[in-house]
């Protein structure tokens, strides 16, 4: 069931999203050579709690950390550890969110660790830009397929692939709500977009093929061909005046 949020609910959700955005910014600033992913995770958790929120990924279906931190060919759901040390040239995707007064925010971004290759920078830039293509297509009266088609068209025109096994989603009193928001699809198809819908739009883009595999830890998702992957995400509300990004500081 798709839940349309009231003005009161959106006010609370905006606070959850503000905390989520601040935590992501804090984590991203810590991406430097020699830093462990566990250190970044702790910074994110400390920030969320300092703002009166709770890390909504931690213990979600057994996930052990506040943030998913995925490096290079890891697409999503990389588990932070003290032994995982960032190196110059890595690209680091951080996905996290906060719960506040019963409502969730969710956002992600990919960060450069020191100097990175031109190829890696182009992948990051394309993925970020594809997110905004998807957001711009999320207009009241449109369809879910408009979002996915906008992302897919932008990404594939630049020689990259969108991950198909994992998709965006609704967000609200649950971290994952209906509807699913694929990063591929046909314009004009799918569920109609209505004011009050809150969506986590999150392109996951591979430099090579779209295939992925999951490590034995049950969480970490890698590209099947070992190519680099990038990930960006915002929580967005559909309004009569167009989409509004909630996870902006």
φ/ψ (deg, to 5) at 43: -60, -40
Residue 1 covered by a domain: no
How would residue 154 be classed by pLDDT, with cut points 50, 70 and 90?
very high
pLDDT of 225 reads 98
CB proximity list for 163: less than 8 A, separation 6 or greater: 75, 183, 204, 205, 206, 210, 212, 229
Q: What is the pLDDT of residues 62-120, one digit of tens each?
A: 999 999 999 999 999 999 999 999 999 999 999 999 999 999 999 999 999 999 999 99
Q: What is the CATH number of the domain that holds 241?
A: 3.90.230.10
Strand partners, 10: none
For the full predicted model, state whether its pTM sits above 0.95.
Answer: yes
Residue 131 lies in a domain: yes
Q: How far is residue 237 CA from its own chain's centroid?
A: 15
pLDDT digit string (tens) for 208-249? 999 999 999 999 999 999 999 999 999 999 999 999 999 998
The mean pLDDT value of the chain amounts to 98
The model's pLDDT over 127-148, given as tens digits with 9 standing for 90+, comes to 999 999 999 999 999 999 999 9
User: Would you state the pLDDT for residue 64?
Assistant: 98
In a domain, 195, yes or no: yes
Q: What is the pLDDT of residue 235?
A: 99
The residue-averaged pLDDT of 139-161 equals 98
- C-alpha dist (Å) from residue 151 to 83, 110, 123: 35, 17, 14
Q: Could you give the C-alpha distances from 38 to 175, 180, 216, in angstroms and in order?
A: 23, 30, 20
State the pLDDT confidence band at 207, using cuts at 50, 70 and 90.
very high
pLDDT for the residue 45: 98
For residue 124, what are the domain limits?
A: 7-245
- Per-residue pLDDT band for 175 (boundaries 50, 70, 90) equals very high
Judge whether 164 lies within some domain.
yes
H or E segment to which residue 179 belongs: strand 177-181
Residues in the chain: 249
Q: Assess whether the previous peptide bond of 227 is cis (omega < 30° from 0).
A: no
Strand, coil or helix: 9: helix
User: What mean pLDDT do residues 179-187 have?
Assistant: 98
Share of the chain above pLDDT 70, in %: 100
pLDDT confidence of residue 25 = 98
Bridge partners for 198 per DSSP: 237
* DSSP conformation class of 36: B
Q: How many domains does the chain have?
A: 1
Bond prior to 179 in cis (omega within 30° of 0): yes
**Any bridge partners for residue 99, and if so which?**
54, 104
CA–CA separation, 112 vs 133, rounded Å? 22
Q: Are strands 168-170 and 177-181 parallel, antiparallel or unpaired?
A: antiparallel
Q: Is residue 2 part of a domain?
A: no
Distance of alpha carbon 206 from the chain centroid: 14
In a 3-state reduction of DSSP, which class is residue 98? strand
Judged by DSSP in three states, 73 sits in coil
> Which candidate, 248, 207, 249, 243, places its Cα nearest to that of 226?
207
CB 86 within 8 A of CB 94: no
Angle of helix 7-29 versus helix 37-50 axis, rounded to 10: 140
Predicted confidence at residue 12, as pLDDT, reads: 98
* pLDDT tens string 192-204: 999 999 999 999 9
């Amino acid at each position: 069931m798709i839940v349309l949020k009231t003005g009161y609910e959106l006010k609370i959700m905006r606070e959850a999203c503000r905390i989520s955005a601040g935590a992501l910014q804090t984590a991203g600033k810590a991406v430097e050579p020699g830093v462990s992913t566990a250190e970044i995770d702790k910074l994110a958790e400390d920030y969320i709690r300092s703002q009166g929120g709770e890390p909504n990924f931690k213990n979600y279906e057994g996930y052990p950390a506040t943030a998913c931190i995925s490096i290079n060919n890891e697409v999503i759901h990389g588990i932070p550890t003290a032994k995982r040390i960032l190196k110059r040239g890595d690209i680091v995707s951080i996905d996290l969110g906060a719960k506040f007064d019963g409502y969730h925010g969710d956002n992600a971004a990919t960060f450069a660790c020191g100097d990175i290759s031109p190829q890696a920078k182009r992948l990051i830039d394309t993925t970020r830009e594809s997110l905004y293509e998807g957001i711009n297509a999320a207009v009241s009266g449109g369809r879910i397929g408009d979002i996915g088609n906008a992302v897919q068209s932008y990404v594939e025109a630049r020689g990259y692939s969108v991950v198909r096994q994992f998709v965006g989603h609704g967000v609200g009193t649950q971290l994952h709500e209906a509807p699913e928001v694929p990063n591929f699809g046909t314009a004009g198809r799918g569920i109609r977009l209505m004011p009050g819908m809150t969506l986590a739009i999150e392109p996951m883009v591979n430099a090579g093929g779209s295939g992925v595999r999951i490590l034995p830890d049950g969480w970490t998702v890698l590209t099947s061909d070992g190519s680099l992957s990038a990930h960006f995400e915002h929580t967005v509300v559909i309004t009569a005046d167009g989409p509004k990004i909630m996870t902006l500081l």
